[in-house]
Amino acid sequence: MLNRMMCLATMLALVPIAAAAQPTATDVTKTEIEAVYETLGQSIDKQIKVVDIGKDTNVAVGILERGALASEGEVGAIVHHDVTEVYYILEGGGTLVTGGPLSNMREFPADSGAVKELIGPSGQGTFQSGVSREVSVGDVVVIPAGVPHGFSDIPDRVKYLSIRVDPDQTLPAGYVNPELTK
CATH number at residue 123: 2.60.120.10
Domain membership flag for residue 88: yes
Domain membership flag for residue 13: no
Domain membership flag for residue 12: no
For residue range 94-141, list pLDDT tens digits in order: 999 999 999 999 999 999 999 999 999 999 999 999 999 999 999 999
Structural domain harbouring 72: 25-181
CB 113 within 8 A of CB 45: no
Single pTM value for the model:
0.85
Domain membership flag for residue 29: yes
Domain membership flag for residue 170: yes
Per-position b or e across 84-117, b if 16+ CB within 10 A of its CB: bbbbebbebbbbbbbeeebeeeeebeeeeeebbb
Domain membership flag for residue 11: no
Portion of the chain with pLDDT greater than 70, in percent: 87
- The count of structural domains within the chain is 1
Residue 9 confidence (pLDDT) above 60: no
Domain membership flag for residue 130: yes
Domain membership flag for residue 17: no
